[in-house]
A and B are shown apart, each in its own frame.
Chain A
Amino acid sequence: MEHSDEEKNSELCKLLLEVGSLLMGSGANSARIRITIQRIANAYGYDAELLITHRALMLSVYNDEKDFFVSRLKRTLPHGANFKMVSGISRMSWQIVDEKWNLAQVRQEIVRLKTVAHYPRLVTLSMVALAGASFCRLFGGGYMEVMVAFVATFIGLFVRQEAAKKAFNPYLCIYFAALTSSLIAGLPVKLNLGAHPDYAFATSVLYLIPGIPLINSMSDLLDGNIMNGMVRGINGLIIAFAIAMGLLSAILTYNI
């Protein structure tokens, strides 16, 4: 009896850390990670305290009545946006509270969430390219510029995905993508095609903007998680720097 209890507790800690690390890797802000972990721990009759950093999570689970205390540490997953995961975990945490799931069910659901498919690659590429074209149109570009922005975004995102597959440094992936996009969008500027080729040039790299790091940074800062907010903000600034470097390389190449 004693033994199985211990196993259960250790499984609970593992699951909580797994949930936290998945949330951190999928683009949730720190307050959400803390609330979700505490909600799940409370559902099983424990309290949880969490130290959240960008690359690792430290968790203490305790129960004063049972005189139980355990601490664990886990590295977070590489960062990338996956809101299906965030949404799925949020639903799961409420199902744990409302429907009294046991730990095996939770483990099963986490395994299932990990295998949920991303959108097909072609869909992602064309929709993001369409977003790039939309930005160009909103800036006031004509049909020519919109087409250029579409193509530049499409190929740039493709390059970024390929570079990420080859496991380049993430900032380098963004540099490659920004360079490709701005080289494509810079060609009409160099050749002076169309009415405002510079609109396409300015909007061709907008799909790379570090929106999630920057917004999460601000919401962490507002929430009092100053350290996390600063780390996320600096991450966002380095991404912006990588984009600017890509643009600058293209500008120097074409001398425009």
Chain B
Amino acid sequence: MELLVFFEKWIWLGFAAIGFAILFNVPLRTLWVIFLMGALGGALKLFIMKLGGGIIIGSFFGAVLVGILSIGAGHYKHSPPFVFAIPSVIPMVPGAFAYRMMLGLVRLTNNTDQTTFSQLLNDTVDNGLKAFFVLLVLALGVSTPMLITRQQSAKNIKVPLKKDR
């Protein structure tokens, strides 16, 4: 039963990545790879969050997985890795936190009651910090393979499954 729920989430994560991939007009040949990468990255994030890692650490490892897979996918499908990586991590982007922070900031301007104000300030700062740090670790995670191998172009990174052009 637990596994079934997990599998269902896996599929929804994939569709979320695909939706954004189509919005960003990616080449057709990369779509199913993005589905897999989005699902795997998102599943790893949910798994780590379930282990008690929190959203920031979860997002980081999810993004690292996506980053590593994107290098292989780039070689395999002849596209720049970030074409795969960005749609795959978009479902992890803390959009909900970012606009809750904005909503909080707007509400703070017309609230004078002391207790509501401090409660709202708490929530706004919490949401804003989470949005910022999740975003930071997503960008860091996606570029991890490049940072570690110290290459400027993913083409110079040796990948086992590489086929000849």
Q: Which residues of A does B touch, CB under 8 Å?
A: 27-29, 31-32, 35, 39, 81-88, 90-91, 94, 98, 118-119, 123-124, 127-135, 137-138, 202-203, 205-212, 214-215, 217-219, 221-222, 237, 240-241, 243-245, 247-248
Decide yes or no whether B37 CB sits under 8 A from chain A: no
**CB-contact partner of A214 in B22, B135, B155, under 8 A:** B135
Take A222-B140, A222-B143 as given contacts and tell me if A135 and B152 are in contact as well, using a CB distance cutoff of 8 Å.
Answer: no
Q: Is the CB of B89 within 8 A of A86?
A: no
Q: Is the CB of B102 within 8 A of A240?
A: yes
Q: How far is the CA of A128 from the CA of B123 in the complex (A)?
A: 29
Question: Can you list 30 A-B contacts (CB < 8 A)?
Answer: A32-B82, A35-B153, A81-B23, A81-B25, A83-B26, A83-B27, A84-B26, A86-B80, A87-B83, A88-B27, A90-B79, A119-B25, A127-B22, A131-B20, A131-B23, A132-B19, A203-B96, A209-B99, A211-B20, A212-B86, A214-B93, A215-B86, A215-B93, A217-B139, A218-B138, A219-B142, A222-B140, A240-B99, A244-B105, A244-B106
Kindly list chain B residues whose C-beta atoms are within 8 Å of the C-beta of A245: 106
Kindly list chain A residues whose C-beta atoms are within 8 Å of the C-beta of B102: 237, 240-241, 243-244
Take A128-B23, A206-B95 as given contacts and tell me if A211 and B13 are in contact as well, using a CB distance cutoff of 8 Å.
Answer: no
Q: Is the CB of B93 within 8 A of A87?
A: no
Number of interface residues of B (CB under 8 A): 49
CB distance from A25 to the nearest CB of B (A): 12
Decide yes or no whether B9 CB sits under 8 A from chain A: yes
Q: Is the CB of A84 within 8 A of B106?
A: no
Kindly list chain A residues whose C-beta atoms are within 8 Å of the C-beta of B87: 83
Kindly list chain A residues whose C-beta atoms are within 8 Å of the C-beta of B143: 219, 222
Decide yes or no whether B18 CB sits under 8 A from chain A: yes
CB distance from B135 to the nearest CB of A (A): 5
**CB-contact partner of A244 in B20, B89, B99, B135, under 8 A:** B99
Q: How far is the CA of A119 from the CA of B21 in the complex (A)?
A: 11
Q: How far is the CA of A123 from the CA of B19 in the complex (A)?
A: 10
